[in-house]
Chain A
Amino acid sequence: MLREILVMVLMISGALFMFLAGVGLLRMPDLFLRMSSTSKAGTLGAGLILLGAAIHFDNFGIYTRAIAIIVFLMLTAPVAAHMIGRAAYFDGVPLWKGTVQDDLRGHYRASTHALERTIVPESDVLTTETLGEDFDY
Chain B
Amino acid sequence: MNEVLWNILLALLSAGLVFAFTRLARGPHLPDRVIALDLISILAMGFIVAYAVRFDQPVFLDVAIILAIISFLGTVAFAYYLERRI
Partner-B contacts on A (CB < 8 A): 4, 7-8, 11-12, 14-16, 18-23, 25-26, 31, 34-35, 38-39, 42-43, 45-46, 49-50, 52-53, 56-57, 59, 61-62, 65-66, 68-69, 72-73, 76, 79-81, 83-88, 90-91, 93, 113, 135-136
Looking at the complex, which one of A19, A38, A49, A76 makes contact with B68 (CB distance below 8 Å)?
Answer: A76
A109 to B33, CA, bound (A): 26
Total CB contacts across the A-B interface at under 8 A: 160
Query: Per DSSP, are chain A's interface residues mostly helix, strand or loop, or mixed?
Result: helix
A-B contacts, 22 listed (Cβ < 8 Å): A4-B2, A8-B2, A11-B53, A12-B5, A15-B8, A22-B17, A22-B18, A26-B23, A38-B38, A46-B45, A50-B49, A57-B53, A59-B58, A65-B65, A76-B68, A79-B72, A80-B72, A80-B75, A83-B76, A84-B79, A84-B82, A93-B31
| Chain B 1-16 per-residue mask, 1 if CB under 8 angstroms from chain A, else 0 | 0100100111011011
